[in-house]
Amino acid sequence: MFKRFYLLFGIIILLFLALIGRLAYMQLYQKSFYSSKLGGSSTYSVSTGSERGEIYDADGVALVENNITEAVAFTRSNTITSQEIKELAQKLSQMITLSDTDVTTREKKDYYLADTDTYREVVEKLPNKKKYDNYGNSLSESTIYSNAVEAVTDDQINFSDDELKIVHIFSQMNATSVFNTTTLDSEDLTDDQIALVTANQSKLSGISVTKAWNRSVNDTGLSSIIGTVSSSDAGLPEEDASTYLAKGYSLNDRVGTSYLEKSYEDVLQGTRTKQEITVDADGNVTENKTTSVGEKGKNIKLTIDLDFQNQVESILQSYYSAQISSGIAAYSEGIYAVALDPSTGSVLAMAGLSHETGSSETESNALGTITQVFTPGSVVKGATLASGWENKVLSGNEVLYDQTLLGISSWFTSGKTAITATQALEYSSNTYMVQVALKMTGQEYTTADAVTTDNYKQAMEELRSTYAEFGMGTSTGLDITESDGYLPSDYNFSNMISESFGQYDNYTTMQLAQYAATVANDGKRQSVHLVEGVYDNNDDGGLGDLSQKIESQTLNTVNISSDEMDLIQTGFYNVVNSSSGYATGTAMRGTYTTISGKTGTAETFATDSDGNTVATVNLNVVAYDANRSIAVAVMYPHANNDDSKAHQYIARDIIDLYVSTYANSSADTDDSDTDN
């Protein structure tokens, strides 16, 4: 028994001697090392953002500007306490006009506990289990603080609106990291307020008057595509924060969160002023060195001339208002038009009007051209022919019979009528396209044949693949976020047949415009872009010299021969310019140029104010001019009269306007040109 006791005692003595030896070693032999650590310094790297670049139209007209204002800024030192920040916020509330009362419950509790005495009182009242562990050891300070936050009652933070305003700027300052700067929210400063803050700066630790900028989006038809910029409170979006931080951003940096502002964030965001601040062991700043000076962000200029954009929207408004007045657009949610340069992919205009059932009013909605999807109807038939040629089931300008089959007929069907591929476009034959689709499943059709559903999925994939080569049901390459259309994955044989004449998948107006541009560009599909170039700033901070030209990319070339593309172009020409009574697009004949195009009518349904289902039609059109300088798509969903020619008139007027006023070369008005 005693032997065990002596053994244990001896082990304890040895451990105690080892500890004394280690302490002696650290104090005697490593004294200089630990002394240098104790008296050492710390260096902070600080990055401050600059003013954001601006956005201009093709003529240099400002679409987005920065409103520069005087504002109060707070730079957090490494020694300031939460109580001192609270006192600072209270002082500021007497000098400037605060406005924001939007605070969280947690922010109110943090403000309440920032007072040292208050915090001590709250902690003292906590039960022991909220302060100590099972062994009587004190819990970590962060755990105790969390428990104190939980203990604060609603009555204790029942602040008035004036107090909430102070809580808001306290929260802004308290969330600022060491040596970083935050612009505080307030109403615009008056000259007297600026003078008062400046005169009392010695009593306001970290407070200064600085220049701040706020994004100002001018009210135009393009406002919806500009996008938004985060506030300094919101800072980096959570889903993108890690990416931005890796690029050197700070958490409270303002960044583009949608559309153009987000897509061109890297160029619009200004470069940062970078500092290295060194402090000693007592927290005193010993060196503050600026390593680089920030500059305002670069500017971007669009491909869209605002004047042309406004006139396109006026054309839409003129015809659509008449359609609303006549009741034809009673169930229509809007109307949309896109104009592109076929050879460069530049967006010349993207205009839209949104409309609520029962209202006579409309609202500008350019964004709808890339977010709203609709059934296209017969405009797709040129691509259906291309799919037939690609998949070797159609030969040149092959003759097939327009006839009723599978319960489907064309608007002009009368028995069996022999028509060519170009006539199938000119007359808009549904059943010619159905026969192409059937051929793609491996079967020829005659009135005596029974139709099988074999291979319909392969045929659908082949149709969709070819449509995508023209830009339908796929990304157009647009430089802002867009819809790829709606292509259901769960479909049947009947859906595949309907697809062949545009009665199944849904596309955006932008996708149809790229389709028209691809036909006009001899099958070469160019990526679509809104931005013409990135520009430096001039001496006044406005649009300077070109820094980077935004070039279009060739996405693909439609996999058919030039002769086969000629047949599509001839069919499009005849749709508008043929003397045949069956030509479906003669209302598009232009005054200043020869127009080629394809109309489309898709059978759809809408719901009236009583919840009843009403038969409607989507009226769509794709078109381009003789010189291939402009390609246009118009989508007019849910009209209740398929005799309306409004969509054709709109396409005609847009092309005429561009050719007569904006095109670089004179229009070719020779009606003998077959556009081959």
Alpha-carbon distance of 331 to 337, in angstroms, equals: 19
Beta strands in 565-594 (DSSP E): none
Q: Which residues pair with 623 in a beta bridge?
A: 597, 632
Q: Is residue 286 within 8 Å of residue 268, measured between CB atoms?
A: no
Residues 6+ apart with CB under 8 A from 483: 370, 371, 372, 373, 508
Residues 6+ apart with CB under 8 A from 258: 227, 228, 481
Alpha-carbon distance of 341 to 347, in angstroms, equals: 7
Alpha-carbon distance of 375 to 602, in angstroms, equals: 6
**Tokens read off for 329:** 């657009």
List Cα–Cα distances, 252 to 76, 183, 236, 247, in angstroms: 14, 10, 6, 14
Catalytic residue among 186, 230, 332, 378: 378
Sheet of 613-625, strands arranged across: 362-364, 347-355, 334-340, 631-639, 613-625, 595-607
402, 437, 441, 431: which is closest to 419 by C-alpha?
402
* Pairing assessment for the beta strands 362-364 and 347-355 based on DSSP bridges: antiparallel
Number of CB atoms found within 10 A of residue 544's CB: 14
66: amino acid identity, one letter: N
Across 580-601, b (16+ Cβ under 10 Å) vs e yields eebbbbbbbebebbbbbbbbbb
Alpha-carbon distance of 580 to 594, in angstroms, equals: 17
Whats the size of the chain, residue-wise? 676
**Tokens read off for 651:** 């396409």
**Tokens read off for 121:** 């009182």
Active site residue 579: no
Chain centre distance of CA 22:
63
Give the CA count within 13 Å in the CB-facing half-sphere of 444.
6
Q: Is residue 372 within 8 Å of residue 508, measured between CB atoms?
A: yes
Angle, alpha carbons 442-444-448 (nearest 5°) = 135
292: amino acid identity, one letter: S
Q: Is residue 443 within 8 Å of residue 449, measured between CB atoms?
A: yes
Active site residues: 378
